[in-house]
Amino acid sequence: MTTNKPKKDLIDVYSWPTPNGHKVHIMMEECGYRLGRDWIAHAVNIGAGDQFKPDFLKMSPNNKIPAIMDPNGPDGKPISIFESGAILLYLAGKTGKFLPQTTRAKYEVLQWLMFQMGGLGPMLGQNHHFRTYAPEKIEYAVNRYTNEAKRLYGVLDTQLKDNPYIAGKQYSIADIAIYPWTRNWKNQGVDINEYPHFKQWFEKVGERPAVKRGVEILTALRKPLHDDKAREQLFGSTQYQKRK
C-alpha cells in the first residue's frame, strides 16, 4: 500500500497475531488509521525470541507484545507505550473514540476493560496453555481453567442480555479488548451456543470491517507451535533470565 506520509509520521506497532496483538490492530483500524498509510505493523516473532531483543525491551520491559511508538505524542514528542490495555486507552484519548467522555459512562467501560485485562485474558491464557501447549495433560489444571472459562463466558452472557455491547449501548474499547480473546472459544472447551447473548454480540462484532481487517494483520506469519525452540522461548527458562 502506498502512502503520502513520511515514515517518521506513522505510528509503529510492534506486535504478533495473538489476542493482545489483535486488540491493537483492531483499535488502530477502528480509529480510522489504515495500515501502510497511518501505521506500520512490525512483526515481533515471539516463537523466535524477538521479544527479548534489546531494542524491543526498551519499549516493552516486560518482554511482551504489543508495544507502540507514536512519533507525535501528547506533547509533540515521540512516546512509546506497552501493555495492550494502556495502548487502547492511549489511542482512545488521542482520537476521542471508543471511550465515553462522561464520568459514569467512562467508568462503565473501564471496569470491563479491567475485567479483560485482569481476568478474562489471564484465565483464557492459562486455559490455552494447559489444554494445548503443556507437555503433559494435567487433569486438574485442564478442568480448573475450562470451568473458569465457562464461568467468564457466563458473566459476559449475562451482561449482554440487556446490553448490545459489553459496556452498554455503545461499542467501546471494552468490546475491542474482549473480542480477540474469545475467537478461539472452541479450543477453550466452550460451546458458544450455551451463551446466546454472547453469541449474538460475538457475531455482530466479528462483522465490523475494522475487526475483519485487524484480525488478519500479521496472521500469515504465525505458524503452529510444534518445535522445542519456540516452546522454550515462550514457556521455558528463557522467560526467567535476568535482563538489564
Instruction: Give dist(CA 187, CA 126) in Å, integer.
Output: 12
Whole-Å CA distances, 11 to 39, 78, 155, 165: 5, 10, 35, 28
| Set of cell numbers at residue 38 | 497511518
Q: What are the sequence ranges of the domains in the chain?
A: 7-97+213-240, 103-206
Mean pLDDT of the chain: 93
pLDDT at 240: 65
CA 228 to chain centre: 25
- Residue 41 backbone dihedrals phi, psi, to 5 degrees: -95, 115
Mean pLDDT across 141-154: 98
> What are the pLDDT digits (tens) for 44-103?
999 999 999 999 999 999 999 999 999 999 999 999 999 999 999 999 999 999 999 999
pLDDT at 157: 98
pLDDT at 241: 73
- Lowest average pLDDT, out of 72-81, 148-157, 221-230, goes to 221-230
Say what percent of the chain tops pLDDT 90: 85
> What are the pLDDT digits (tens) for 164-175?
999 999 999 999
Confidence tier at 8 by pLDDT (50, 70, 90): confident
103-206 belongs to CATH 3.40.50.2300: no
Task: Give the DSSP letter string of the chain.
Answer: ---SS-GGGSEEEEE-SSHHHHHHHHHHHHTT--BTTTEEEEE--TTTTGGGSHHHHHH-TT--S-EEEESS-TTSS-EEEESHHHHHHHHHHHHT-SS-SSHHHHHHHHHHHHHIIIIIHHHHHHHHIIIII-SS--HHHHHHHHHHHHHHHHHHHHHHHS-SBTTBSS--HHHHHHHHHHTTGGGGT--GGG-HHHHHHHHHHHTSHHHHHHTTTTGGG-----SHHHHHHHHSGGGG----
- Lowest average pLDDT, out of 7-16, 24-33, 101-110, goes to 7-16
Instruction: Give dist(CA 22, CA 218) in Å, integer.
Output: 9
Residue 5 reports pLDDT greater than 90: no
Say what percent of the chain tops pLDDT 70: 89
**Parallel, antiparallel or unpaired: strands 39-43 and 11-15:** parallel
> What are the pLDDT digits (tens) for 88-102?
999 999 999 999 999
pLDDT at 226: 59
pLDDT at 223: 76
pLDDT at 237: 64
pLDDT at 206: 98
**HSE (side-chain half, CA atoms, 13 Å) at 131:** 21
Instruction: Give dist(CA 43, CA 231) in Å, integer.
Output: 18
pLDDT at 228: 62
Mean pLDDT across 200-229: 89
- Lowest average pLDDT, out of 19-28, 208-217, 221-230, goes to 221-230
pLDDT at 13: 98
- Please name the fold of domain 7-97+213-240: Glutaredoxin (3.40.30)
